[in-house]
Amino acid sequence: MKTKPLQAVILAGGRGTRLAPYTTVLPKPLMPIGEYPILEVVLRQLKAHGVDRVVMAVGYLAGLLEAYCGDGSRWGLEIRYAHEREPLGTAGPLAALRDQLDETFLMMNGDILTDLDYADLLAFHRTGGAAVTIATYPKPV
């Protein structure tokens, strides 16, 4: 049985102040990890797990993110951009996008690397019948 393509919202509008001074010229999602920027790794993972459309919430240094990702076609994705005129926080972009989102979608930060299986997460969400499913990982500090 073929599953319905999935939409993702990527939050990529923050200033990345903890990585300053590097983030004064490069947004955190474009920081390289090995051969690729973090965001490209994320986009490749999303595509591999059935995502076909991405809305990227951008603000700080948005032009660099748009120049790098373009329309997403090089990854087989459709990428659209939602511009934050002022920082909206973590959930703020969702309010502005509510009329453009599927009933079920992934929302994530553009600077998080994980080996989470998004298809498994989606299946868990759908079978659980919850309004929201949040994936977390304990990190001792």
pLDDT for 62-99, tens place per residue?
999 999 999 999 999 999 999 988 777 777 788 888 88
Residue 13 DSSP code: -
- pLDDT over 50 (residue 1): no
Name the band, by pLDDT with cuts 50, 70 and 90, for residue 3: low
- Mean per-residue pLDDT over the chain, rounded: 89
pLDDT for 14-67, tens place per residue?
888 888 888 889 999 999 999 999 999 999 999 999 999 999 999 999 999 999
Which is more confident, 116 or 90?
116
Cα distance between residue 30 and residue 25, in whole Å: 10
For residues 104 and 6, is the Cβ–Cβ distance under 8 A? yes
Cβ count near 55 (within 10 Å):
22
To the question of pTM greater than 0.95 for the whole model, the response is no
Tokens of 4: 């319905």
Closest CA to 106 of 119, 90, 95: 119
pLDDT of res. 4? 65
Of 3-7, 79-83, 84-88, 124-128, the poorest mean pLDDT is in 3-7
Q: Are strands 6-12 and 105-109 parallel, antiparallel or unpaired?
A: parallel
78-102 core/surface letters (b: 16 or more CB in 10 A; e: else): ebeebebeeebeeeebbeebeeeee
pLDDT of res. 56? 96
